[in-house]
Amino acid sequence: MITANRLSLTFGCIGILLLGGSVFAAPADDLLNTYLQQGVNTASAEAGKTLWFTDFDGRRCTDCHGDAPVDAGKHVRTAKHIDPMAPSVNALRLTDEKKIEKWFLRNCKWTLKRECSLQEKADVLVWLKEQ
Amino acid sequence: MHTVVTRGRWLVACGLLMSGIYFGVSALGSVATASDQATMAMKGPVPAGYARTCGECHMAYPPVLLPAKSWETLMAGLEYHFDDNAELLPDEHAKVLKYLISHAGFEGQGLLQKMQTKAPLRITQLPEFRHEHDELSAAMTTGNPDVISMSNCDACNQDTALARFEEEMIDIPGFGPWED
């Protein structure tokens, strides 16, 4: 009986650990690690911030996202409401690797008129994570 | 030697039988799908995956609102999607395209009556769409801060997820239900 209880307790603990691991693992960190494995040496939040505010031939990230990542933005062409980018005020941000990659693809090509490099994506991601 | 030949024949026979069954079943399957499409197209709710993918930027339009040819063209040009970039990652792209094509509308049906081009790209420019909305004032639609664009169907039509667009289900923000 005791053995059975201990056994279920052990499995229960393992289950909770597994569950905890999957719930609390940050997808942004996983993606950042992927970038590092693919050849990025270090990700710089400072460089990410610079890119975020850089004018690329008339377009900037902030045109749609607004000047403060903690505030909501508005798409400069379609007027679509954009929830704040800062994870500190928007818990849903940076929680889905595929979503992050999709929006890097779309928004880099729209704003910079080219895809972003792994370095640029890593920099912006590490900066946004801190917001 | 004899045994080997017999065994070989058995294998061929079994193979033919199995492939016959396979093609028979798959043919039945495709017939069922085709008849489902005809009846389900206007009634099936929008799947969550499609709503999430396309609904991030605008209403996830029911596929029945455009013909398959239009969806093919739109999906092939997501990089320049009405002055925005709406590209999808490859796996999402394949799923969305498959859903759109298999649930697309047919010429002559609903808003696709009196179509002027084979592959129209703007639902709001369809002749039948314009006809259905020709009694509305700009104050009710494009000049209405809660509507802004004619493409925001669900600002007024309360039953868009079912692609029904019944007049009884219209509620124009600031103006109320529509009475013809």
Strands (E) across chain A are located at: 73-74, 81-82
Q: What is the number of domains present in chain B?
A: 2
One domain, residues B33 and B73: no
Please return the burial class of B55, using the count of CB atoms within 10 Å of its CB with bins 0-12, 13-18 and 19+: middle
User: Among all residues of chain A, which has the CA nearest to that of B58?
Assistant: A80
One domain, residues B9 and B86: no
One domain, residues B173 and B108: yes
3-state secondary structure of A25: coil
Rounded to whole angstroms, how far apart are CA atoms B35 and A113?
45
Please give the structure tokens belonging to residue B57: 């930027």
Q: Residue A57 — φ and ψ, nearest 5°?
A: 50, 50
A6 Cβ under 8 Å from any chain B Cβ: no
One domain, residues B35 and B68: no
Percent helix, strand and coil across chain A, each to the nearest 5: 55, 5, 40
One domain, residues B133 and B163: yes
A106 Cβ under 8 Å from any chain B Cβ: yes
What ipTM describes this predicted complex?
0.73
% of chain B surpassing 70 pLDDT: 74
To the question of pTM greater than 0.80 for the whole model, the response is no
Q: Which of A117, A114, A78, A106 minimizes the C-alpha distance to B79?
A: A106
Q: Which of residues 106-125 of B touch A (CB under 8 A)?
A: none
Model confidence at B37: pLDDT above 90: no
One domain, residues B58 and B29: no
pLDDT in tens, A86-116: 999 999 999 999 999 999 999 999 999 999 9
B17 Cβ under 8 Å from any chain A Cβ: no
One domain, residues B82 and B163: yes
Q: Residue B156 — φ and ψ, nearest 5°?
A: -115, -45
Q: Of the ranges A22-26, A50-54, A94-98, which one carries the lowest mean pLDDT score?
A: A22-26
Please, which residues bridge with residue B170 across strands? Answer: B157
* DSSP label of A115: P
Q: Of the ranges A58-72, B37-51, B101-115, B145-159, which one carries the lowest mean pLDDT score?
A: B37-51
Secondary structure (DSSP) of B35-96: HHHHHHTTTSPPPHHHHHHHTTTS----GGGSBHHHHHHHHHTGGGBTTB-----HHHHHHH
Rounded to whole angstroms, how far apart are CA atoms A99 and B11?
49
One domain, residues B66 and B88: yes
- Strand bridging mode A73-74 / B171-172: unpaired
Under 8 Å between Cβ of B126 and B107: no
Q: How far is B78 from chain A (nearest CA, A)?
A: 9
Rounded to whole angstroms, how far apart are CA atoms A66 and A84?
9
Range of B3's domain? Answer: 1-39
Under 8 Å between Cβ of B45 and B78: no
One domain, residues B8 and B81: no
B145 Cβ under 8 Å from any chain A Cβ: no
One domain, residues B91 and B130: yes
| B137 or B36: which leads in pLDDT | B137
Model confidence at B128: pLDDT above 60: yes
One domain, residues B160 and B119: yes
One domain, residues B73 and B11: no
